[in-house]
Each structure stands twice: as C-alpha cells, then as structure tokens.
Chain A
Amino acid sequence: MTANSLPQDFAVPRQRSRLFDTVRRHPTIVLGMLIMLLLAAVAIFAPYLGTSDPMKLNPVFRLRPPSERWWFGTDHLGRDLYSRVLYGSRISLQVGLAVAVVASVIGTAIGLLAGFVRWIDAVVMRIMDGLMAVPGILLAIALMALTKASVQTVIIAIVVPEVPRIVRLVRSVVLSLREQPFVEAAEATGTRFHRILIRHILPSAVAPLIVQATYVCASAMILEAILSFLGAGTPSSIPSWGNIMAEGRQFVTVAFWILGFPGLFLTLTVLAVNLLGDGLRDMFDPRMRRRL
C-alpha cells in the first residue's frame, strides 16, 4: 500500500454513512431505541396485529397453552393472552411516558427554584428527603388508596415518588452553574433572573435531565405493574401487564404463560428504556462510558 492511498482509507468509512457511525459508537442507544420503536408500533397498531377483543370471555377454552390459534395461550377466563399483552403495552408505555414528562416538568420547576432561592431550598429539600425516605411503591399505594383507580390516578401516584429524583438532579446542576463566571457575566450585563434561568442554566441541565427521565420512565413502568399486580393500580377492566400477571398468579403452576408473557414484555421494555438511558448518558458525557 502506498502512502498516497491513505487519505482514501480514511475517507471511505466516513462516506459510507453517518448512521453506521452512530450505530457503531452508541450501540446501546440504537438497540434501546429499536426495541422502544417496535413496542410503540405494537401499542399503536395493536388492533391490526391479528388481535381479537382482549376482553372477550371464552370459558370453553380456558388456560390453553400457546398454540397456533392462541399464540400466547389463554387465561383462566379464556381470554386471548396475545391480544391482552399487546393492548397492555399501551398502558405501560402511556404511564411510563406520562410519568417521565410530568415528573420532569414539575421536578425541573422545583429544582430551579430550590437551587436559586435559599429558604425555598431548605424547605423543599427536606420535603423531598422525606418523600425519598418512603419507598416509592408504599407512597404510591397510599396515594391510590385516597382516590378511585384509573390510569390518570396511577400516573399521579407514581409521579409523586419520582419527582424528588428530578428535583435533586436539577438543583445540583443549578448549584454548580450558579457560580460559573458566565452566569455572573450574565448578571453583570443586566440579564433578568428568568432569562438567566432559561438561557444560561436550563440548556446545561437538559442533557442530564433527559437521561434521568429515561430512568424515571423505566421505574414508572415497573411501579405501574407492581401497583396493578397488588390490585391498587389500573382497574382490572383494563388489561395491563400488571393486571394480567396478578390474575395469572394463582394459575402459575398449570399455566405459566399467563405470568410469563407479560413478564417478558415488561422486562424487555424496561431493559430497552435503560439501555437508551445508559447510551444517552455515555453520549452526553463520554467520561462515563463503559464497554457494553
């Protein structure tokens, strides 16, 4: 090989595709994203994926194992598990996404205030410490006990224990940025308080916030399933992975698939969200990178 051919050697992989480059450098993001997109597609197009009515009882065919007719088998009331699991993904994704967004918005607002205003910091952070001291699931059960079961109340009940994680993160970002010379410079040039927040503080908080939001999303999905499993979550009239597993629990010895399939989907979903979060964290902060 002559020295002249070297530049081409460097140029070729570049030209091949940017996509390829991204995949190679951040495999976890791509993998997580792929699984998430697949699940989202499944949730959205559930009615067109060979499903039947997930609520339809068919007592004649109770507890049937997976077969050509019932891909995932049937439950103790003869309902098609494949349809129920696919429709159940709607609940999980809905709750995960909603909790991540709502908790991020509320947590960011509180965190910004706590980071800038001393007395609010003292009060708010003690409340957050208190919230974090109680296991999230207990708090959510207690909150669910106060209201009637619906998807919205489940979301609210999960948002409350998740908010402190966001608050602590945003607050710590604010505290470290507040002393940065560029923030002092903004103050010296007469930048108003809200503009400092929006233009100088928030942009630096976005990257860690997105990462944290994916973890909150994963945690919310698990919490929803646990709540439903315990009968304190999504009403049993709506199929959710937690509900399906709760109902299948007593039949696990004769019909493992009732527990197995929603469990598998939940595991896969949470894994995908976590992979995505890990990958994003590595992308935003290369120092934290670990080999997969």
Chain B
Amino acid sequence: MAAPLLEVRDLVKHFTISGGLPLRKGRTVRAVDGISLQLAAGETLGLVGESGCGKSTAGKCILRLLEPTSGAVLVNGDDISTLGRGALRKYRRAMQVIFQDPYSSLNPHMVAGDIVAEPMLNYGIGDAASRRARATELFDRVGLRAEQMAKYPHEFSGGQRQRLGIARALALNPDLIVCDEPVSALDVSVQAQIINLLIDLQQEGNLSYLFIAHDLAVVRHISHRVAVMYLGKIVEMAPTAALFRRPQHPYTEALLAAVPVPQPKRKRRRALIAGDVPSAVRPPAGCRFHTRCPHAEDRCRVEEPVLRELSPGHFAACHLRTG
C-alpha cells in the first residue's frame, strides 16, 4: 500500500503555563496527548469532541501553525514535523486551512481579490494577469461573483466570507484541507450550503479533508471516517456508518445520545454522563473517561486502555469492549 496522504504518529502538544501565580508555574496542559491517525487521498476524516479536547490544537500542529511537542506528521511519507521554515514552505502548498471564524480569518485591510490571490503570489505562480484569472475562476467556483473581488471583507456576509476562505485555501490546489470548525459560526441554512460546496469540491478534485467539528450531524454528513477525541486522546475511530450505528466507546455513546432529535414526541434516553471534562493539566489516571463513565470498573481507574481494532477499521480505547 502506498503511503497515505497524511499520517500522524503519536502527536503530542503540551503547553507550559508560564507567569501567573508561582505555584502554578511550570505546569503543563496536555492539550494533545499522543494521537495517531491516517488520511487517504480523497478521504474525509471527521475529528469530533467537546470544546477543549484538543481537536483544534491537533489540527494546528498538523499544519505546523503550532510546534508539536513530539510525534511525527508525515505528508506523502515525508516527515514535516521537524522541518525548518524554508523547507516547510514547500509542503505548505499541499495542505491548507479553513478557519472557524470567517470574520477574523480575513485581513480587514485587504480586498477579497487580493486575499484569494495572495497564496499564488507567495509561491510566485504566474503573473498578475494569470493570478487574476485564476482568482476569478476560484470566485466562480465557490459561488461568489467576480465583481466582488474589489470589496473588503466587512462588506460580505458570514457565509460569503467563509466562501472566500475556501477560495483562498483552494488557490494552491492543495491535496489536504484542514477544516477547523468551518461551519459552526454560520447559520444553519448557510452551513448546508458550505458543507455541500466542500463535498462538491472534493468530488471534483482529489481533495482530502481533516474535518474538525463538534456538530455530529455535520460530521456524519461529510465524513468517510470519524475519530472521537476526549481530553487529548482519540478514544474511538471508525467508518462513519459503523460509528453512528454501533458506537463502542461509552463516551461516543454519550455524544450520540446528546444529539438533538427533530421529533419532539420521541422519548430520549437520559443523559448518560454528568459533570465536566477534567482538567487537561492533571488528566485522570487510567482511562481518562473513568470519572464520568457510567460503566467504570476498578481496572479503568488504574490502567490506561489502548486503541484496539475491535472489528475491521473500527478502533476503540476501552477495557470493557472486546472484539
């Protein structure tokens, strides 16, 4: 089998708390604590979890917008996690990003056309005229009009801004786009448009998405496979259909049970878990979920479960499930 487009091995990102009270100094926040995943060309991997579970941090580490503490990020088999600034630029072309907030992710002082053309300018692609032609093409592709190129970001609506962000990400013909909650800041009706645009774009080219989100309905719609994160770890990873039909990890079960059902008369199961996510400064010993897990046993409090393949392609990290 050829090397996957993206492979992440034991990615770790710890933040050290500096400043503040002397007692708290030097503590580390274990935002991402050893995650591994693979992404094939043309595939969408959904990365879900509660806020603060490290999913965005993981995305930024993969893009090297943050420096990973340890672990490897392989793009087409080449490790980019230790490359210097110059060498990294070559790989940046292959992976782009779409941010959550369509307002702060566009420079307010630049017009839309320049924002979309900037990536091409950065890599010296074509001359001014051809870049303009390509920007026009991209505008058309994401559903914006060419005459809007002279407008400033604040003149666009939220959905249009996100389309701009997508056009910018497409400018370099990337293989992979990390979508960091690309629709959670948008209205529901606009969400659907953007999601469908992303799906269309994937079918045209051979695009891969690492789709970070907390909205399970959205993730289910767009992803081929889904990885569930909890406190910096991946607790379950499976093809979308399998994960939603037969969740193996108690946390995934709880997440699925929490999804609102658009049928008011149908009885819903009681919330399976209570309490908040424990602090990532001092994650619980053993299984990180044991403090909230309804099925926790003694073993869960001591021994940390590893991610095991329960059925082909279906991984879960739980002592209580056997293949």
Contacts and interface: CB of A to CB of B under 8 A. Distances in A.
Interface of A: 180-182, 184-193, 195, 199-200, 203-204
B305 to A, nearest CB: 34
Contact of B92 (A190, A200, A203): A190
A184 B118 contact: no
Contact of A181 (B63, B93, B104, B171): B104
A198 B293 CA distance: 51
18 contacts: A182-B107, A184-B97, A185-B105, A185-B106, A185-B165, A188-B63, A188-B65, A188-B92, A188-B95, A188-B96, A189-B119, A189-B122, A189-B172, A190-B89, A190-B122, A190-B123, A203-B107, A203-B109
B92 A186 contact: no
B289 interface: no
A126 to B, nearest CB: 16
B253 interface: no
Nearest to A188: B97
B104 A189 contact: no
A174 B122 CA distance: 21
A186 B123 CA distance: 12
Nearest to A179: B104
Contacts of B118: 186, 189, 191, 199
A182 B106 contact: yes
Interface of B: 60, 63, 65, 85, 89, 92-93, 95-97, 99-101, 104-110, 118-119, 122-123, 165, 168-169, 171-172
Interface of A is mostly: helix
A195 B110 CA distance: 13
Contacts of B109: 203-204
Contacts of B168: 185, 189
Contacts of B100: 181
Interface of B is mostly: loop
A185 B168 CA distance: 9
A185 B172 CA distance: 13
Contacts of A180: 104
Of B63, B106, B118, B123, most buried by chain A (CB within 10 Å of CB) is B118
A204 B35 CA distance: 37
A201 B100 CA distance: 21
A193 B85 CA distance: 10
A189 B107 contact: no
A192 B122 CA distance: 7
A189 to B, nearest CB: 4
Contacts of A189: 92, 96, 118-119, 122, 168-169, 171-172
6 A-B pairs closest in CB distance: A189-B119, A181-B105, A203-B109, A181-B99, A190-B92, A190-B122
Nearest to B110: A199
A208 to B, nearest CB: 14
Given A199-B110, A204-B109, A187 B104 contact: no
A185 B95 CA distance: 11
Contact of A182 (B85, B93, B105, B169): B105
Contacts of A193: 85
Of A185, A186, A195, most buried by chain B (CB within 10 Å of CB) is A185
A111 to B, nearest CB: 18
Given A186-B118, A188-B96, 11 more contacts: A181-B99, A181-B101, A185-B99, A185-B168, A186-B107, A189-B96, A189-B119, A189-B172, A192-B89, A199-B107, A204-B109
Contacts of A204: 108-109
Nearest to A181: B105
Contacts of A199: 107, 110, 118
A97 B169 CA distance: 44
Contacts of B172: 189-190
A47 B27 CA distance: 70
A186 B116 CA distance: 11
A193 B101 CA distance: 23
B242 to A, nearest CB: 32
A96 B123 CA distance: 43
Given A190-B92, A190-B93, A191-B118, A184 B171 contact: no
Nearest to A200: B107
Contacts of B85: 193
Given A188-B92, A189-B171, A203-B109, A195 B122 contact: yes
A270 B290 CA distance: 67
A184 B118 CA distance: 13
Contacts of B123: 190
A195 B171 CA distance: 18
A191 B119 CA distance: 7
Contacts of B65: 184, 187-188
Of A189, A191, A204, most buried by chain B (CB within 10 Å of CB) is A189
B99 A184 contact: yes
